[in-house]
Amino acid sequence: MTFLNEIAQRYPEAISFAAGRPYEGFLDLDAVHRYLDTYRRHLDARTGGDQALVRRTLLQYGRTKGIIHELIAEYLLVDEGIVADPEHIVVTVGCQEALYLVLRALRRDAKDVLLAVAPTYVGAHGAARLADLPVLPVPDSPDGLSPADLAAAATAARSAGLRPRACYLIPDFANPTGVSLSAARRRELLRVAEEQDLLLLEDNPYGIFGDGRHVPTMKSLDDSDRVVYLGSFAKTGLAGARVGFAVAGQRVVRRDGSASSGTGHSTLSDELAKLKSMLTVNTSPLAQAVIGGKLLEHGCSLRAANVQETAVYQRNLHLVLDGLDRRFKTGAGATAAVSWNRPQGGFFILVDLPFTAGDAELESSARQFGVLWTPLHHFYADGLPRQRVRLSFSHLEPAEIDEGLDRFAAFVRAQDTTRNALRGRTHAT
């Protein structure tokens, strides 16, 4: 994403539908102080007022798996219907570290591969590259990953002598597509995972930002321990804390081949903790305390904590959808050549264009029209240019969305005009 960051820096006045960062209107540094104090009081109560222990817990090196695991387990139950043993939770430096740790733990030798919906979150490719785990793409669909495609991809990998270990996916308001999986499809995918002996890596950074219709998380439907749940507090807690987590209670078969059991049993979470001790030692307990305090102040419900934010994201989603309608579907500029999907929540919308929208087109869009968006090829390992872009709206104000869509429409029409002009010229020569 270096190129995208450079473009954003070179055109600071451009309106950005590219950045996927959370809304900044409610950021509050005083709240950070309060969260810390709230968590301190919680520790006070938990330790019977042992101030030395409270200080040590917050300020010293700490437990590798983290200190807010019990609060996270409570939040998972309250918000997501997930029953998780706190010992199976590893608190990480953002979800990105959780993803890396899981992939590094799954990679034993050169035969191991990861399946991932294509297009998908750029960071999944990054973490896999760092872990030396090749990624095999599984085609996406307008309804999200299809069970048949997943089964076919796993079978094909095995036929090629590879060992597909897991499939990475974002079932709710996916990045970059905005698409969510139906409950029925989630259940079918769980069945395929069981049949194919795959783990499903369920990444859920945007799930709570929906319209109130709640589809159950895959982890809450998972009765055969096929799902490793990857959690992020970057959008729901505080991006600046850099706290995420993995829920990984899967039993681990030891190197001697015996399944682990009894008091000496080991789970994937234990493996992740071992790797984490070599990578970041432990997640800052101060950063965890900030998230812990926020959880405590809202009865461990991030849905409750994010009522305002969810309203903003929903408002922005509909401003973009309605704004696209007004500019491309009705009135003078109506054209069937531009279309888009209609997610029910999250941060992203996909727009199909009648021309290739790659980095060169983005550069023109920024320079000539003052608007940024994300070319879709960045979300594919093959890097081939596509006629599709991602519009992100999470951090924008209504006036920016309106002006930004005007600029986007002007860019699209200019591209289209150029293209037609070029085509005309080609015919003429």
Report if residue 94 touches a second copy, rule: CB under 8 A: yes
Of 32 and 305, CB closest to a second copy: 32
176 upstream amide cis, omega within 30 of 0 = yes
Token representation of residue 24: 């900044």
Of 277 and 420, CB closest to a second copy: 277
Which range of residues in 123-131, 159-167, 169-177, 195-203 is near a second copy by CB under 8 A? 123-131
| Backbone angles phi and psi of 150, in degrees to 5 | -65, -45
Of 278 and 336, CB closest to a second copy: 278
Asked whether 314 and 209 are in contact (CB, 8 A), the reply is yes
Report if residue 127 touches a second copy, rule: CB under 8 A: yes
Distance from C-alpha of 416 to C-alpha of 410, rounded to nearest angstrom: 10
Distance from C-alpha of 364 to C-alpha of 352, rounded to nearest angstrom: 18
Distance from C-alpha of 84 to C-alpha of 62, rounded to nearest angstrom: 22
Instruction: Find the binder of a second copy among 42, 69, 88, 104 (CB under 8 A).
Output: 104
Span 277-296, contacts to a second copy by CB under 8 A: 277-287, 290
Distance from C-alpha of 188 to C-alpha of 421, rounded to nearest angstrom: 48
CB burial class (10 A; 0-12, 13-18, 19+) of residue 348?
Answer: buried
Q: How many residues bind a second copy (CB under 8 A)?
A: 54
Which range of residues in 127-135, 142-150, 340-348, 354-362 is near a second copy by CB under 8 A? 127-135
Report if residue 240 touches a second copy, rule: CB under 8 A: yes
Q: Which of 222, 192, 197 is nearest to 76 (CA)?
A: 222
Coil, strand or helix: which one is 251? strand
Report if residue 129 touches a second copy, rule: CB under 8 A: yes
Which sign, positive or negative, has the C-alpha torsion 396, 400, 402, 404? negative
Span 169-198, contacts to a second copy by CB under 8 A: none
Distance from C-alpha of 375 to C-alpha of 385, rounded to nearest angstrom: 8
Instruction: Find the binder of a second copy among 42, 65, 219, 242 (CB under 8 A).
Output: 242
Report if residue 265 touches a second copy, rule: CB under 8 A: no
Span 132-161, contacts to a second copy by CB under 8 A: 132
Span 378-417, contacts to a second copy by CB under 8 A: none
Question: Rounded to 5 degrees, what angle do the CA atoms 291, 266, 76 make?
Answer: 30
Which range of residues in 56-64, 136-144, 318-326, 376-384 is near a second copy by CB under 8 A? 56-64
Which range of residues in 24-32, 220-228, 321-329, 421-429 is near a second copy by CB under 8 A? 24-32
Report if residue 126 touches a second copy, rule: CB under 8 A: yes
Which range of residues in 32-40, 162-170, 293-301, 315-323 is near a second copy by CB under 8 A? 32-40
State CA 278 to chain mean position distance.
25
Instruction: Find the binder of a second copy among 10, 55, 108, 318 (CB under 8 A).
Output: 55
Which sign, positive or negative, has the C-alpha torsion 142, 145, 146, 148? positive
Instruction: Find the binder of a second copy among 36, 78, 152, 414 (CB under 8 A).
Output: 36
Instruction: Find the binder of a second copy among 52, 332, 336, 399 (CB under 8 A).
Output: 52
Instruction: Find the binder of a second copy among 32, 91, 113, 349 (CB under 8 A).
Output: 32
Asked whether 353 and 387 are in contact (CB, 8 A), the reply is yes
CB of 424 to a second copy, least distance (A): 38
State CA 327 to chain mean position distance.
29
* DSSP one-letter code for 369: I
CB of 238 to a second copy, least distance (A): 6
Distance from C-alpha of 393 to C-alpha of 129, rounded to nearest angstrom: 29
Of 184 and 281, CB closest to a second copy: 281
Of 60 and 417, CB closest to a second copy: 60
Pairing of strands 89-92, 244-247: antiparallel
164 upstream amide cis, omega within 30 of 0 = no
Which range of residues in 47-55, 191-199, 294-302, 352-360 is near a second copy by CB under 8 A? 47-55
CB of 81 to a second copy, least distance (A): 28
> Could you give the C-alpha distances from 145 to 182, 186, 189, 397, in angstroms and in order?
10, 9, 8, 32
Token representation of residue 255: 């190197």
Instruction: Find the binder of a second copy among 16, 18, 62, 210 (CB under 8 A).
Output: 62
Catalog residues that contact a second copy under the rule CB under 8 A: 1-2, 21-22, 24, 27-29, 32-33, 36, 40, 52, 54-56, 58-62, 93-94, 96-97, 100, 104, 123, 126-127, 129-130, 132, 234, 238-243, 274-275, 277-287, 290
